[in-house]
């Protein structure tokens, strides 16, 4: 079974631009979560989507948004990029169902550099 895939793997953007990152979960997984990883703040939860609805949200400004499509694929968008948005953005998927533990499987991440 293919793992979580994220595209692109690397991205360089200029301050003020916007960016869209994509995540394809493991087949059959309907929950997708996004995390930001930086050396200073570590791994921080951004948001979680399930069945195209946002279920949980972390403490990030409104410039960070996401969505999930009917095939469970998810995108996250960051508008008006700031230098501090440079980070590894990780997507994690999980099967959500009765009797199954909620275990997250991470993708390789998208390395975003803002200059």
Partner 1 sequence: GQQLNQSPQSMFIQEGEDVSMNCTSSSIFNTWLWYKQDPGEGPVLLIALYKAGELTSNGRLTAQFGITRKDSFLNISASIPSDVGIYFCAGRWDTNAGKSTFGDGTTLTVKP
Both tokens assigned to 98:
């009765």
Is residue 104 a contact residue for partner 1 (CB under 8 A)? yes
Taking the CA atoms of 33, 34, 36 and 37 in sequence, report the sign of the dihedral they define: positive
Binding test (CB under 8 A) with partner 1, winner from 21, 94, 112, 114: 94
CA-nearest of 53, 57, 75 to 66 is 75
CA-nearest of 102, 84, 80 to 36 is 84
Is residue 106 a contact residue for partner 1 (CB under 8 A)? yes
Binding test (CB under 8 A) with partner 1, winner from 11, 13, 20, 45: 45
Is residue 58 a contact residue for partner 1 (CB under 8 A)? yes
d(CA 8, CA 22): 7
In this complex, which beta carbon is closest to partner 1, that of residue 59 or of residue 70? 59
Binding residues for partner 1, per CB under 8 A?
4, 31-33, 35, 42-45, 48, 50, 55-56, 58-59, 90, 92, 94, 96, 101-109
């Amino acid at each position: 079974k293919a793992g979580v895939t994220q595209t692109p793997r690397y991205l360089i953007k200029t301050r003020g631009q916007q960016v869209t990152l994509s995540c394809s979960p493991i087949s059959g997984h309907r929950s997708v979560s996004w995390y930001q990883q930086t050396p200073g703040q570590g791994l921080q939860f951004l948001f979680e989507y399930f069945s195209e609805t946002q279920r949980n949200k972390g403490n990030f400004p409104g410039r960070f948004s996401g969505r999930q499509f009917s095939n469970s694929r998810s995108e996250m968008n960051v508008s008006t990029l700031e230098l501090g948005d440079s980070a590894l953005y990780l997507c994690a998927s999980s099967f959500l169902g009765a009797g199954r533990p909620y275990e997250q499987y991470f993708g390789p991440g998208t390395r975003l550099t803002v200059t």
